[in-house]
Amino acid sequence: MTIQQVAAAAGVSPSTVSNLLNGRTNRMVPATKERIERAIAELGYRPNRAARQLRTGRTQTVGLIVPSVGNPFWGAFARELEVAALAVGCNVLLCNSERDPDRERRYVEELWEDGVRGIVLCSSLPTLDHLADIVRRGLRLVTFDRPAQAGDPEEVVSVSINNHVGGFLATSHLTELGHERLTFVSGSLAAVNRTGRFRGFCTALEGADLDPAAMPTWTAGGGAPFGDVEAAQVGRQAAHDLFSGTVEPPTGIVAINDMTALGFCRGLRDQGLHVGKDVSVVGFDDIILAELYDPPLTSVRQPISRMASLSLEEALKEDDREPGRSVLLRPELVVRDSTASPTGATAPVVADEDGVLQ
Amino acid sequence: MTIQQVAAAAGVSPSTVSNLLNGRTNRMVPATKERIERAIAELGYRPNRAARQLRTGRTQTVGLIVPSVGNPFWGAFARELEVAALAVGCNVLLCNSERDPDRERRYVEELWEDGVRGIVLCSSLPTLDHLADIVRRGLRLVTFDRPAQAGDPEEVVSVSINNHVGGFLATSHLTELGHERLTFVSGSLAAVNRTGRFRGFCTALEGADLDPAAMPTWTAGGGAPFGDVEAAQVGRQAAHDLFSGTVEPPTGIVAINDMTALGFCRGLRDQGLHVGKDVSVVGFDDIILAELYDPPLTSVRQPISRMASLSLEEALKEDDREPGRSVLLRPELVVRDSTASPTGATAPVVADEDGVLQ
DNA sequence: GTGAAAGCGCTAACAT
DNA sequence: ATGTTAGCGCTTTCAC
C-alpha cells in the first residue's frame, strides 16, 4: 500500500495525496479531498514512517530516559508521559540508564540517530558534559528533575519540582512536630535533585534553630553507587547503621525518595522499632505504595502528570526555543501516619481528606 | 555523514562499505576492510536507520505492551526485557494498554507500521481476535503470561509461568497451615492468567478436601473494570467488603497479584485487623515491595529475568517459527510473614535465607 | 574483489 | 488547484 496506489485510486497525483496527509487541505478543492479520503479508507492505507522520516529527517517519537522503571515513581512518570504523547499522536521510546553516564550517552546517541524529536532525561547527573556535543548538534533535550546548572549547554530546558522547597517542607514538618535530631538519608548525593533536597533539609533545620552539622549523619557505604532499584536497600542499610552504632540515633528521618524511605522502615522493623512511634519518616515522590504502606508514609508529592505534559511539550517544540528555560513546580507535603511528635503524641495538622497539607 | 562520504574517504564504492556494514567482509581484501574501518572511525559515521529500514523493511526494535508500567511488576519486567534487548543491540518501544483491547489494537498497528521485528504482549486478554489479521499479515507476536488458547492464530508463541501451579502453590501453602476458609481476590477475571491462577486455587482446595463452592467469595464491584493501577484499590475494597458483611469472613486470602494483596492488607488495617495474625495473605509476582512491606508478604515469584530473555528471543526470531509454541516456567512460592496458621502459631516451613520454599 | 545503478515510499520545490 | 520531478541514505542484484 503506497501513496502511489492511493493516488491512482483517487485519480490524482501523489503530491496531492501527500498534501492531504500533511494537512495542506487548503490547496485542493473539497471534492478532491473527499475522493482521496475515501480511497485511503477503502485501501486501508497508512503512510510508511521510514520513508517519511528519511525524507523529512523528523519522527513522531520522543525518547524517555529514566534511572529505572523498576522504581514505581519512574514507572508512573513514564506512564503519564505516554498518556500525554498519545494525545498528540506521539510514540515514546523508553530507556533505563541506571544513572550510568556511559549508558546514558549511548542511549542518547541511539535515540538521536533514530531521529527522535526530543529526549526527556531523568537521571539528574551533576553535569551534562557527556551529552554536550549532541545537544550542540541540535538535539532537543529536556531534563526532568534537574534544573539547569552552570556549565550546561544553554539549549537545554528543564522541568522539575523545587527540590529545595520539597526538602524544606519535609524537614520543617518534622521540626514542627518537635523533632530535634534529624538525619537525611540518601544514596549517592551526586545528583542535582538530591543536593537540592538536602539543602532544603539544612535550611529547615536552621530555621528551627538547629545546627545541621550537629545532626547524626549517614553516608552510603563506599564502592558501588547504588542504583534506583537498590534504593530500598540503601534505606534498610541506613536504618541498621544509625540504630546500632554508638551515636545517639535520630528521631526523624528525611529520605531521598519513597523507595529509600520504605527500605528504611523495613530496616527499623528489623530492629524491632516502630515507624511513626519510635521514629518518624518522611519520604519523597508519593508513589502509590506510600499510601498503601503500614503505616502509610508521609511524603512530598510531585505533580507528575503536569510535569509529564510539560516535559513532552518542551521535548516536541520545534525551533522556537527559549534557551535555558527552567520550569519549577511546587511540591506538596502529604501527611500520613509515619510521622508524629517524638513524644508519641500526634501534633495537630490541618489536612484535607486526601492528606494534603493545607 | 553518509555512506557515500565514507566510501569517498576510503577510496571505495558505497556498496563495499555497505558490505562491510552488513558483515559481508569475506567479499573484500583485508586491506580494504581496514581502510573503510578507519574512515568510519575518523568520520564518526553511523548508518541512518530510516534509510536502512526503508530499504530492507526491517528494524532493530521490538514492541512491548504492558497493562501499565505504573504497576511495579510490569516496570520490573520492562526493565529486564530492555536489558536483554540491549545485549543484542535492540531497542524496546514501550506501551501501556490498560488492558483495553482498542488501545491494544491501536498500539499493535502503530508498532507494526513502525516496522518492529516483533511484539511482546502482556495483557492476557481472553481472545486475540482483535489482532488476528495483523498476525496473519506477518506480525511476530509473543504473548507473555498468556498461554495459547483455542482459537488463537497459530503463529502466536507464548511465554508464561504455569499459573495453575502458581495458584496451587499459594493456596496449598495456606491449607497446609490449617486454613479452611479461603477467598480468591481479583479484579475482573477476564484474563487468561487470572483464570489459571483461580483454577489452581480450586485444585488446591479440593486436594485439601475443601469445597471451593463453600468458600466466601468476593467479586469486583460492577461497572468499571479496574485497571492495573487500581489493583490496590480492588484489594482494599475486597477487605472492606469481606470483613464487614454478615458472612463469616475467610482466614486466608490468595490475591491475584501483589498490588492487590498490598491493597488488601491496607484494607485489613483500616478495620484494625492484622495481616499474618488475624488473616493470612498470599500475593503473586513477588515485586520488590513484597519484601519491604510490613509484614513482608508471602508471594508467588515469577522468574521475570528468564522470562524476559525468552520473550525477546521469540520476538526476534526470523521465520523459523515453531507455531503455537508455549513456554511454561515454574513459579516458586516465597514464604514470608504475611501467612501463618489460623491459630496464630507459625507452622514449620523449610526455606532458604531468601525465603524460597525448599 | 569491487563498482554501477536502481529503487524502497515519501515530500516539497517548482512547474503548470 | 494539481502534477512533475528529484532526491532523502541505504542495500542489493548484476556486471566487470
The three-class DSSP label of residue A253 is strand
Query: What are the structural domains, with CATH classification, of chain A?
Result: 1-46 (1.10.260.40), 163-303+332-357 (3.40.50.2300)
- The pLDDT score that the predictor gives to residue B357 is 55
- The pLDDT score that the predictor gives to residue A222 is 63
Rounded Cα distance between A213 and B225, Å, is: 53
Render pLDDT for A165-197 as a digit per residue (tens, 0 to 9): 999 999 999 999 999 999 999 988 778 888 999
What is the full per-residue pLDDT of chain B (358 aa) written as tens digits? 899 999 999 999 999 999 998 889 888 899 999 999 999 999 988 888 889 988 988 788 899 999 988 888 999 999 999 889 988 878 888 888 888 899 899 889 888 877 888 999 998 888 999 999 888 878 889 999 998 888 999 889 999 999 999 999 999 999 999 999 999 999 887 788 889 999 999 999 999 999 999 999 998 876 555 666 688 999 999 999 999 988 899 999 999 999 999 999 999 999 999 999 999 999 999 999 999 999 999 999 999 999 999 999 999 887 666 777 889 999 999 999 999 999 744 444 555 656 565 4
- Residue keyed to cell 489536612: A351
Cβ of A262 < 7 Å from strand C?
Answer: no
Contact list in A for residue B270 (CB cut-off 8 A) is none
Contact list in A for residue B50 (CB cut-off 8 A) is 49-51, 53-54, 115
| Phi and psi angles of residue A317, each rounded to the nearest 5 degrees, phi first | -55, 140
Rounded Cα distance between A134 and A121, Å, is: 14
Contact list in B for residue A113 (CB cut-off 8 A) is 46, 48-49
Global pTM value: 0.86
Contacts of A157 (CB under 8 A, 6+ apart): A141, A142, A143, A148, A314, A321, A322, A323, A324, A325, A326, A327
Distance (Å) from CA B84 to C1' D12? 31
- Protein residue nearest nucleotide D9, by CA to C1': B51
Q: DSSP letters along A270-296, please?
A: HTT--BTTTBEEEEEE--HHHHHSSSP
Best B45, B48, B94 member to test A by mutation, with max A CBs in 10 Å, is: B94
Distance (Å) from CA A42 to C1' C5? 36
Strand C interface, B 7-46, C-beta < 7 A:
11-16, 19, 26-29, 31-32
Contact list in B for residue A68 (CB cut-off 8 A) is 79
Q: Which of B53, B94, B293 sits opposite A50 (nearest CB)?
A: B53
Rounded Cα distance between A358 and A334, Å, is: 10
Distance (Å) from CA A27 to C1' C15? 15
B331-to-A318, B150, B160, B165, B167 alpha-carbon distances in Å: 49, 24, 9, 7, 10
Strand partners for B96: B66
| Phi and psi angles of residue A143, each rounded to the nearest 5 degrees, phi first | -95, 130
Distance (Å) from CA B17 to C1' D15? 18
Render pLDDT for A46-89 as a digit per residue (tens, 0 to 9): 888 889 988 988 788 899 999 988 888 999 999 999 889 988 87
Nearest nt to the CA of A29 via C1' is D1
- Residue keyed to cell 544514596: A187
Tell me, what DSSP letter sits at residue A70? T
Contacts of B86 (CB under 8 A, 6+ apart): none
- Return the exposure string of A37-54: e unless at least 16 CB atoms fall within 10 Å of the residue's CB, then b: eebbeeeebebbbbebbb
CA of A65, closest CA in chain B: separation in Å?
A: 12
